[in-house]
Amino acid sequence: MSAPPTKAPASAGKPLDDGSFRQLVEGVLDYAVYMLDPAGNVASWNSGAERFKGYTAAEIVGSHFSRFYAEEDRRSGLPARALDIALREGRFENEGWRVRKDGTRFWAHVVMDPIRGPDGTLLGFAKVTRDLTRRRAAAEELRRSQEEFRLLVQSVTDYGIYMLDPEGNVATWNAGAQRIKGYAPEEIVGQHFSRFYTEEDRAAGAPQRALATALHEGRFENEAWRVRKDGTRFWASIVIDPVREPDGTLRGFAKVTRDITERREVQLELERAREALFQSQKMEAIGQLTGGVAHDFNNLLTAVIGSLELVRKRLPADDRNLLLIDNAMQAARRGATLTQRMLAFARRQELDPELASVAALVTGMTTLFDHTLGPSIVLDVDCPASLPPVRVDVNQLEMALLNLVVNARDAMPRGGVIAISAREATADPASTFPLPAGRYVRLSVRDQGHGMDAITLARATEPFFTTKGVGKGTGLGLSMVHGLAEQLGGRLQLESVPGIGTTASLWIPMAAGADVLSQHSEPAPAVEATSLYILAVDDDALILVNTAAMLEDLGHEVVTAYSGREALAALAGMERVDLVVTDQAMPGMTGTELVAAIRRERPDLPVLLATGYAELPDGGMSDIPRLNKPFLQAHLDHAIAEVMRGRSKSSG
């Protein structure tokens, strides 16, 4: 059996009597709860009213409640209006400043209700007041902070800072966003943020991926092209963060955009400068290596060519070995051509500059071009004879032009037109093409071939880079032309469009105004063939033996020395010496150092410097007669004749 129900206390459910209710009201400390009579005078006063208004019951009961109002509110009649509203509307509720006994103010929340008797007679007013000063101060601080933050965001002009709703529509818009993107707030608020993306990014779904990434990873950050209102593009740094309510509900996205186009351009320019420096250093290193290899190769070819020449001279005209020797000589000469290209690329090739007419040079080569190009190529030459002269090494310029024409031919396997033109031109210092300011003759070769893309064009003058396939090119042709142009003080300019063709232009500085174009005449006859006493100097035994053999075959008496110091010692013991033929690159004492020593002891003794290297140290040695390696016996004979003729003129 269940237990009988417990009886409730006798007092349960009974209303509070007047004494208990008074005790309840008196015990409330956080609210001022008191009565006003119908005229607005204080009729009762609880502990809460005494605590935050400062009056005791004895001090305030019987006084009019308007005492709690600020002076300006009393003047405006607010206390009377409060009673009137309570009477008419059955309730008055308000927040405003009130005054304590000590004169200080507090922010009060006031509720006033009329109290009527059973017959409807107005007995007075029940008034409840709460001190909300602290809460109001906190709310005001929050409002001020929010306003300051709003002003801060609105004042930022270097960043676009704005909100997106959960669907990606623009909800707020600051001054920075307006400055960067060009839209006023009324033009863009409510629009989807994908409007700022490029057409290709929208098609690829980039805006949706950005919001999805921000949601899943808590942040999206990227750099990309964005579009302004006027359609122009700018490079933007973008950050998107999700914004959530305290309960985790997505409120939208905070988006920060910065225009970093200028910074990107600076970075790209710096990268281009670094790449140019790296390329320059790489080319310089390859040039050093190439020049050294070509120098050594020239020495070897000097011995090969010289020996082949001497052997051929000693064989009868019907000897079956002559064909083999001629083949070997042809191969050696092709090797010499290769070293010339290598030295031209390295800008270490000996040049023999003279005044020349570009128009005459091109005209003189047309027959060679016709035989070289074949019937499928049409040659169009436009080089006015009125062009001013240039100072060049004619042989090297001819070789460079032939290289460009052959390249143009190879770019058109099915035939086409090769246009060779020359024009007077002035370099513009503001141009992106690096060329010293001045007047030039621009010699151009234009083809209608397949052209080159940007990557190929950037590498076209690199040594050993070729697009002709294995065994069809050394990759030194354009490098040689580039090196020659640099040595002449000009530039090689390449312009190309894939599928359209390529134009290669040699910018050659015009000769100085005082220079006069020389008239080519027959070479002066050699000096009378006499036997000379010659000191031959070279540290390479192959070269020295070969040179001595050539000289002896020409009828000269030869003494050999394997170093500069050995040469000086030999000179000291020679009763007669007419000429010194010396190499340049020798250990211990170079050829120019040997020349300087000879000039101190025997200033009238002529010296011929045989070298495969163009660059000689500074120091007043530019007047030394030179013979380029590799050389034929005829070259050696002619060089000796020129040196001895010069000696005869100076002594005469």
Q: What is the pLDDT of residue 217?
A: 94
H/E/C letters for each residue in 150-215?
A: HHHHHHCCCEEEEEECCCCEECCCCHHHHHHHCCCHHHHCCCEHHHHECHHHHHCCHHHHHHHHHH
Model confidence at 204, pLDDT cuts 50, 70, 90, reads very high
Model confidence at 523, pLDDT cuts 50, 70, 90, reads very low
Q: What is the pLDDT of residue 343?
A: 59
Inter-CA distances, 423 with 39, 65, 387, 440, Å: 111, 105, 7, 8
For residue 190, what are its two tokens?
């409510």
Pairing of strands 501-509, 159-164: unpaired
Asked if residue 370 belongs to a domain, the reply is yes
Model confidence at 154, pLDDT cuts 50, 70, 90, reads low
DSSP designation for 7 = P
Asked if residue 485 belongs to a domain, the reply is yes
Of 259, 284, 310, which closes a domain? 259
Q: What is the pLDDT of residue 224?
A: 93
Mean pLDDT of 511-532: 53
392 and 472 inside one domain:
yes
pLDDT at 193 over 80: yes
411 and 505 inside one domain:
yes
Q: What is the pLDDT of residue 192?
A: 95
Asked if residue 346 belongs to a domain, the reply is no
Q: What is the pLDDT of residue 542?
A: 85
Instruction: Please say whether the beta carbons of 256 and 159 come within 8 A.
Output: yes
Q: What is the pLDDT of residue 139?
A: 77
DSSP designation for 513 = T
376 and 453 inside one domain:
yes
pLDDT at 16 over 60: no
Model confidence at 459, pLDDT cuts 50, 70, 90, reads low
Q: Residue 508 carries which side chain, given as an amino acid letter?
A: I
pLDDT at 184 over 90: yes
378 and 496 inside one domain:
yes
Q: Residue 638 carries which side chain, given as an amino acid letter?
A: H
Inter-CA distances, 400 with 72, 420, 423, 489, Å: 101, 13, 18, 15
364 and 459 inside one domain:
yes
Asked if residue 408 belongs to a domain, the reply is yes
CATH code, 53 = 3.30.450.20
pLDDT at 635 over 50: yes
Question: CA 608, CA 610: separation in Å to the nearest integer?
Answer: 6
Question: What percentage of the chain's residues is helix, strand, coil (to nearest 5)?
Answer: 45, 25, 35
Q: What is the pLDDT of residue 496?
A: 87
58 and 203 inside one domain:
no
Phi, psi of 125 (to 5 degrees): -135, 135
200 and 67 inside one domain:
no
Asked if residue 246 belongs to a domain, the reply is yes
Per DSSP, the three-state class of 5 is: coil
Mean pLDDT of 101-118: 92
380 and 500 inside one domain:
yes
Question: CA 35, CA 127: separation in Å to the nearest integer?
Answer: 6
Largest CA distance in the chain: 160
Q: What is the pLDDT of residue 136?
A: 83
549 and 645 inside one domain:
yes
- Say what percent of the chain tops pLDDT 70: 79
pLDDT at 515 over 50: no
Q: Residue 5 carries which side chain, given as an amino acid letter?
A: P
Q: What is the pLDDT of residue 469?
A: 44
Asked if residue 104 belongs to a domain, the reply is yes
Q: What is the pLDDT of residue 476?
A: 47
Residue identified by tokens 């040469």 is: 567
Per DSSP, the three-state class of 418 is: strand
Instruction: Please say whether the beta carbons of 629 and 612 come within 8 A.
Output: yes
Q: What is the pLDDT of residue 36?
A: 94
Question: CA 269, CA 421: separation in Å to the nearest integer?
Answer: 34
475 and 551 inside one domain:
no
Question: CA 503, CA 500: separation in Å to the nearest integer?
Answer: 10
Question: CA 370, CA 49: separation in Å to the nearest integer?
Answer: 119
Q: What is the pLDDT of residue 451?
A: 84
Q: Collect all residues with Cβ–Cβ distance below 8 Å to 479 and sequence separation of at least 6.
A: 341, 344, 345, 461, 462, 463, 464
CATH code, 397 = 3.30.565.10
Instruction: Please say whether the beta carbons of 62 and 37 come within 8 A.
Output: no
How many other C-beta atoms can be found within 10 angstroms of the C-beta atom of residue 395? 11
Strand ordering across the sheet containing 377-382:
377-382, 416-427, 438-446, 501-509, 491-497
| Nearest Cα to Cα of residue 158 among 259, 83, 233 | 259
This model's pTM is above 0.95: no
Model confidence at 516, pLDDT cuts 50, 70, 90, reads very low
Model confidence at 568, pLDDT cuts 50, 70, 90, reads very high
| Nearest Cα to Cα of residue 112 among 96, 135, 134 | 96
- 75 — alpha (psi -120 to 50), left (phi > 0) or beta? alpha
Burial 486-514 (b: 16+ CB within 10 A, else e): ebbebbbbbbbeeeebbbbbbbbbbbeee
> Could you please report the per-residue DSSP string of 446-498?
E--S----HHHHHHTTSTT--SS-TTS--S-HHHHHHHHHHHTT-EEEEEEET
Of 242, 259, 276, which closes a domain? 259
Q: What is the pLDDT of residue 565?
A: 93
Question: CA 331, CA 324: separation in Å to the nearest integer?
Answer: 11
For residue 511, what are its two tokens?
């000769």
Model confidence at 481, pLDDT cuts 50, 70, 90, reads confident
Inter-CA distances, 97 with 34, 66, 69, 105, Å: 18, 12, 7, 6
pLDDT at 284 over 80: no
H/E/C letters for each residue in 119-132?
A: CCCEEEEEEEEEEC
Q: Which domain holds residue 77?
A: 18-137
What are the pLDDT digits (tens) for 490-501? 888 888 888 889
Inter-CA distances, 276 with 24, 271, 506, Å: 91, 8, 21
Asked if residue 292 belongs to a domain, the reply is no
Domain count, the chain: 4
498 and 621 inside one domain:
no
Q: What is the mean pLDDT of the chain?
A: 81
DSSP designation for 218 = S
Asked if residue 290 belongs to a domain, the reply is no
Of 259, 287, 302, which closes a domain? 259
Question: CA 372, CA 370: separation in Å to the nearest integer?
Answer: 5
DSSP designation for 584 = S
493 and 541 inside one domain:
no
What are the pLDDT digits (tens) for 26-77? 656 678 899 999 999 999 998 889 988 999 999 999 999 999 999 999 999 9
CATH code, 593 = 3.40.50.2300
